[in-house]
Amino acid sequence: MKKFLPGKGKEKGKRFTLHTRHILLKYYIILFLFSLFLLRCILPGVAEASFTIEDEKKLGKEFYEKLQKGNFLLQNEQANSYLTLLGKRILGYSEKAPFDFQFSIIRSSAINAFATPGGYVYLNQGLINLAENEAELAGVLAHEIAHVNGRHIAEIIDRSTKLSISTLAAILAGAFLGGGGDVTAAVASFSMAAATTLSLKYSRQQEEAADRTGLSYLVAAGYDGRAMLDFLKIMRRFEYYSNMIPSYFLTHPGTDERSHYIDALLQTTYNQGGADHIIGNLKRIQIILLLDTKAPDSNLLYFQKELDDHPDDPDLLYGLAKTEDKLGMTREALEHFRKALHLAPDDADILRDLGIALFNLGQFEDAAQNLRRAIRFRENDVDANLHLGKTLAALGDLPGALRLYKKLEARRPDDPEIFYNLAMVYGKTGQTGDSHYYFGLYFKKKGKMDSALFHLKAALKDVSPDHPKWSEIKKEIDSLPH
């Protein structure tokens, strides 16, 4: 199988853009400060007590919420669902752990993966896009799950009873952030003094245990165990792409020894083979991540070059069409969407995005047809339902649009775009009170409090005080800052 690696050719070896450097700088600062904060909360003064299961859960949860608040986690429902499905498959063949696992994608092109205490597993976009097959990704997840189940970070912290909190914080920051690049130089030098006393790198024994246990999970889940070894070699080969942020091998040491150890297990214990793909659709997920991270101009050249060699690949055609649509190349986008759809007539992504493109062109009947078909294959696709609602409203079917939006509101009760569209449809049907109410919610979510207050007060005037809606609107008004 030809490896799908975004950024091939001219893109290889390019340094990160200034925008990416800015994001990474924020990433480092937040992680470093948060490391210090967490350890002060969990281990006040000096680390004296055992690092308990509850401590792990607290640390993992707080760390996750910080990343989420800092917008470092990818918010793509389809990609996150894929990773979660893959993670849950591995979990189904692992020992029962006292954690509720959470699988997340970090918005970074670096080749890295790590797990924090409490069942939180993170894969970078760059690592996912490097994988040649699903089994390789499953192998990374299996290895990280094994670290969590083995409570390896907790073991390291438990051994640190003689170290101060500031030292522990520095080592934790160094482990997560790495020592490469100008941005992390200060952190790296800060932690060097304690490096001989404690390292938050996994020990060789822990890595061996995670490989052994993770490999058993991987094979039990039906995958080819050789994928774990193959991907370890691929990551080592492309490690230099991560020179601006921490490398996978900074916290997962002993590459050569690990390779030999895994190879021995494959020869003696796990030589039965297995599947490269079980869930499927990895290449589409890689396309989605590429569209999310790379500039459209860069993607245009990439897809065009790849299609020279694979002219009938629906995934590549889909990626090209999406890129052309972003660049305003409407005619070319429609041509490639339709060619992709001809090759994959039941593909929900292609149907949805062709429908959206047609909606934007004002071709509402054709848009509705494609969007309905997309929903038939993927009922809960938010974008497909939202744009079908817009299309129905444009065609004059306001009751149909309203039904769709209310269903979406039940699924996503805090989505401002749904509030906006509900407000518009209620306004067109003459239900001004409901229109004002949803405009109020929309502006509140957007942080425009004066506009929110205006619309909510107008909505309040439209209902009597004994109506159930009155107290709901009043509650929203009272929640606004004064």
pLDDT tens, position by position, 343-398 = 999 999 999 999 999 999 999 999 999 999 999 999 999 999 999 999 999 999 99
pLDDT band at 18; cut points 50, 70, 90: very low
Residue 129 lies in a domain: yes
Question: What pLDDT was estimated at residue 394?
Answer: 97
Number of domains the chain is built from: 1
Residue 375: count of CB within 10 angstroms of its CB: 19
Residue 144: count of CB within 10 angstroms of its CB: 25
Question: What pLDDT was estimated at residue 247?
Answer: 61
Where is 80: in which H helix or E strand?
helix 77-91
Does position 446 have pLDDT exceeding 80, yes or no? yes
Greater confidence (14 vs 282) lies with 282
Residue 230 lies in a domain: yes
- CA 184 – CA 174 distance, rounded (Å): 8
Residue 284 lies in a domain: no
CB 432 within 8 A of CB 455: no
Residue 254: both structure tokens together: 């002993």
Host domain of residue 240: 9-268
Question: What pLDDT was estimated at residue 211?
Answer: 87
Residue 141 lies in a domain: yes
pLDDT band at 71; cut points 50, 70, 90: confident
Question: Mean pLDDT score of the chain, rounded to an integer?
Answer: 82
CB contact set of 417 (below 8 Å; sequence gap of 6+)? 386
Phi, psi values for residue 463, rounded to 5°: -125, 155
Average of pLDDT values for 200-229? 87
Residue 478 lies in a domain: no
Greater confidence (467 vs 426) lies with 426
- CA 189 – CA 178 distance, rounded (Å): 11
Residue 231 lies in a domain: yes
CA angle centred on 359, ends 375 and 74, rounded to 5°: 60
Print burial letters for 97-109: b (CB count within 10 Å at least 16), e (below 16).
eebebbbbbbbbb
Greater confidence (315 vs 52) lies with 315
Q: Which of 31-35, 107-111, 144-148, 475-479 has the lowest mean pLDDT?
A: 31-35
Residue 297 lies in a domain: no
Token pair 């039990």: residue: 220
- CA 299 – CA 117 distance, rounded (Å): 37
> Kind of pairing, strands 120-124 and 113-116?
antiparallel
Residue 324 lies in a domain: no
pLDDT band at 433; cut points 50, 70, 90: very high
pLDDT band at 251; cut points 50, 70, 90: low
Sheet holding 113-116, edge to edge: 102-106, 120-124, 113-116
The gap between the terminal CA atoms of the chain, to the nearest Å, is 61
pLDDT band at 151; cut points 50, 70, 90: confident
Question: What pLDDT was estimated at residue 51?
Answer: 66
CB 316 within 8 A of CB 303: yes
